[in-house]
Structure formats: structure tokens, C-alpha cells
Amino acid sequence: MGRLINMGRYVSLGLLVLLTLPLFVQGVFDHPLWINDEGHVAEIGREMFLSGDVIVPRLGGQPFVEKPPLYFVVMGICYRWFGITPGAARLPSAIFGFLTVLVVYGIAAAQGRPQQGLLAAFLLASVFMMFRFAHWCVVDSAVCFFTTLGFYFFFTRIPNHTQKIVVVSGLLCGLCARLHVQGIGWACDGRHHGHSAPCLGRQPG
């Protein structure tokens, strides 16, 4: 019986990957950067990649500490694999968005409800805002992923009430909040505003 349950989970997970992965990859590489934020974020990742400094993000050569470096580190890896292109700049968002869908499935599957998890994951993948942020070069998809991952560790370990899991869940939720915080006055001198990334693309029109 346990083998059948595990097999059902693997089949559901395989189906989920097969149907949703193309949705997140589709259109990532076929157009230049659009909104202002895409140019800024892509340029930060480019400067981190070229400088090799994975600790302090920079924009226009100046420290950009409104966001932590994790998203830009992932972008630098994508630049290394696919070149410094708009598609490579967007790929981290697609990756985090896809991983969020898998985590949503995992929350239900870990509680013995793979069918409900499959439905929830499909519904999330079909939400317009989820699709949009997964196809923009912005950190919002990473925020969503770490928030959901925090919930995963919390809800799947509630019966145990282990202090370690509660701490991990809190750290992940704190990381997601840190990913979206703005205006760190002690380190931000404001000179980064107004820069863009003309080397990677431009807005339409």
C-alpha cells in the first residue's frame, strides 16, 4: 500500500513538471527587457557577474543594498550558462516561480494528499500574477518561493512541533521579507537610482 501511495506521488509530480515547466519557460528568451525594474535588476546581476563580488550587489558601480544578493547570484549563474542576455536575466524568476509550484504540491503530498496538491499547484500556475512575475526580471518570484517554502516546513512538521523546524520556517519567511525590503538607510547612499541597462534591452516604444 505504501508503495502504491509513493508511486502515485511520483506520477503526480511527473505530470505536474511535464505540464507546468513549459509554461514557465515559454516566452522567457524571446523579447528584450520591458519595464524599468527589469533593466535595473538585470544590470545589477550583470555587474555582480562581471565583478565576481557575490556579497554586495552594485548598480552603476555603487552599492545597491535594497535587495540581498541571492537573486543576483542566481542570475549570474544564468549569465554564465546562457550569456548576458535578457532571457538569462529573466530565467531566475522562471526558476523560482516553477519551484514555488512544486513546493505547493509538496505541502499537500507530504500530508498524503497528492491529488489535492496537484490541483492546488495547477491553480497557482494558472494565476495571471504568478505567470507575470515569473516572466519578469524582478525579485518577486523569489519572495513568493521563500514564503511558500517557509510554510512547507511549518505545515509539514506541525505534528512534531520541533523547535528546529519552527526556526527554519521563521528564517525562510524572514528571508522572503528581506528580499523585498527597500531603503536601507545605513548603507544606501541613493546614487544608484536612475541607472538602467541599455546593454540588455530597452522598453518597447
Per-residue pLDDT at 102: 93
In a domain, residue 204? The reply is no
pLDDT, one tens digit per residue, over 119-155 is 888 888 888 888 888 899 988 888 889 888 888 887 7
In a domain, residue 151? The reply is yes
Q: Give the number of residues written for the chain.
A: 205
* SS3 label, residue 197: coil
pLDDT of residue 195 exceeding 80, the answer is no
Q: Residue 197's pLDDT band (boundaries 50, 70, 90)?
A: very low
Give the Cβ contact number of residue 66 at 10 Å.
19
In a domain, residue 190? The reply is no
In a domain, residue 33? The reply is yes
In a domain, residue 154? The reply is yes
Per-residue pLDDT at 96: 95
Cβ neighbors of 107 (< 8 A, separation 6 or more) are: 117, 120, 148, 151, 152, 155, 156
- What is the number of domains present in the chain? 1
At residue 74, φ and ψ (nearest 5 deg) are -60, -40
82 versus 163: which is more confidently predicted?
82
| Arithmetic mean of pLDDT, 152-174 | 63
Per-residue pLDDT at 159: 59
Per-residue pLDDT at 87: 93
| Arithmetic mean of pLDDT, 86-107 | 93
Q: Residue 168's pLDDT band (boundaries 50, 70, 90)?
A: low
- Per-chain mean pLDDT for the chain: 77
For residues 136 and 31, give the distance between their C-alpha atoms in angstroms, rounded to a whole number. 11
79 versus 106: which is more confidently predicted?
79
Per-residue pLDDT at 172: 60
In a domain, residue 192? The reply is no
Provide, rounded to the nearest whole percent, the portion of the chain with pLDDT above 90.
Answer: 24
Per-residue pLDDT at 79: 96
In a domain, residue 18? The reply is yes
Give the Cβ contact number of residue 38 at 10 Å.
23
- Residue 35, C-alpha cell as written in the block: 519595464
Q: How many helices (H) and strands (E) does the chain have?
A: 8, 2
pLDDT of residue 21 exceeding 60, the answer is yes
Per-residue pLDDT at 47: 94
pLDDT of residue 176 exceeding 70, the answer is no
Q: Residue 188's pLDDT band (boundaries 50, 70, 90)?
A: very low
In a domain, residue 185? The reply is no
Print the domain residue range for 123.
Answer: 2-180
